[in-house]
Structure 1
Amino acid sequence: MPANPKYLTQSKWQRFSKITAAILGGYLVSVSFHLALASWFNRANIMITMAYTGFILWVALMVIAFLAKKAWKIWLIYLGMTLVFSALVYLGQIYNPIAK
């Protein structure tokens, strides 16, 4: 049974933005989150765990991107989260240079 057209995104720009937010934005958030954890905790354990939890988090962020009404809002949220996690990576390298 095909989807009801009234529930589908009509704008090609919105569709493209949601797809890129899901793939690229979700990946950036997932990787920056795990790098932030790795800068404060045991790097080896976090990087090994990232092989599984990174993919699960990425898929969850993809689903959330397609559930959003406006693509610019989800891009704003994903870029904000990436910046926060990147700041945590930077602070972790300054205050905890050798996380074992």
Structure 2
Amino acid sequence: MPANPKYLNPSFWPRFSKITAAILGGYFVSVTFHLALAAWFSRKDVLITMAFSGFILWVALMIIAFLAKNGWKIWGVYILLSLLFCLFIYLGQTYNTAQ
């Protein structure tokens, strides 16, 4: 049974933006989230846990990217989340090395 044509994107760029947001954007958000946790908590424990929870988070972010209507908007959300987590990494490293 073929897919309903109204749900298919015939253009290249919307498809490309969703695929890259799902793969790259989801990976960046997943990694920066876990590195932000590692900056504030026990680094060894967080990085060991990241092997499993990072993959689960990445898959969830991939699904969210494909459910979004606009791939460029989801790219913007993923970039903002990555930058926010980078700020938490910076603050965690600054705060924890000052003590």
What band does the TM-score fall into relative to the shorter chain?
over 0.9
Distance 2:67 2:33 in 1: 21
Residue 26 of structure 2 aligns with an amino acid whose one-letter code is G
Residue in 2 that maps onto 1:14: 14
Distance 2:43 2:85 in 1: 16
Q: How does the TM-score come out when normalised to structure 1?
A: 0.94
Distance 2:97 2:31 in 1: 19
- CA shift for structure 1 position 2: 2.5
Residue 88 of structure 1 aligns with an amino acid whose one-letter code is F
Distance 2:86 2:54 in 1: 16
Structure 1 runs, 4 residues or longer, greater than 6 Å off? none
Unaligned runs of 5+ in 2: none
- CA shift for structure 1 position 87: 0.4
Distance 1:72 1:36 in 2: 25
Distance 1:55 1:97 in 2: 29
Residue in 1 that maps onto 2:39: 39
Residue in 1 that maps onto 2:4: 4
- CA shift for structure 1 position 5: 1.5
Unaligned runs of 5+ in 1: none
- CA shift for structure 1 position 4: 1.1
- Tell me the percent identity: 68
Residue in 1 that maps onto 2:89: 89
